[in-house]
């Protein structure tokens, strides 16, 4: 694992379907891709029964669906700055294929900040 800091790089938007955000940047002459999900879905179900003192049986069912979006700090940093500092692992990547069947090897990201 080699952690690198790419300073003052210009990110380019590659893919944003509202759930996954992918961008590219060049470091030491090599083009890298980074990406992350910015929407998460959670589903929870709870069922059970409860017997009261007067032998009334109640059936309880609760369902919860929750969507949570990223506050957008990394997305805003990438979209609104011409130069950013990216800390990433140049030896480890995760394969991701978009809905349009375009594959990308996404580097492991540690931080993204406005360029210094």
Domain ranges of the chain: 3-38+70-114
**Global pTM?**
0.71
Q: Are strands 30-37 and 20-27 parallel, antiparallel or unpaired?
A: antiparallel
Inter-residue contact 57 to 66 (CB < 8 Å): no
% of the chain with per-residue pLDDT over 90? 44
Q: Which two tokens mark 60?
A: 């309880």
Summarize pLDDT for 70-93 with one digit per residue, the tens: 656 778 888 888 899 999 999 999
């Amino acid at each position: 694992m080699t952690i690198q800091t790419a300073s003052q790089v210009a990110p380019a938007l590659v893919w944003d379907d509202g759930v996954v955000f992918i961008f590219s940047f060049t470091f030491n002459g090599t083009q890298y891709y980074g990406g992350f999900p910015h929407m998460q879905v959670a589903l929870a179900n709870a069922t059970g029964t409860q017997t009261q003192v007067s032998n009334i049986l109640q059936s309880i069912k609760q369902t919860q669906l929750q969507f949570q979006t990223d506050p957008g700090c990394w997305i805003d940093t990438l979209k609104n700055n011409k130069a950013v500092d990216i800390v990433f692992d140049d030896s480890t990547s995760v394969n991701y294929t978009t809905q349009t069947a375009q594959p990308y090897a996404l580097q492991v990201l540690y931080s993204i900040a406005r360029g210094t």
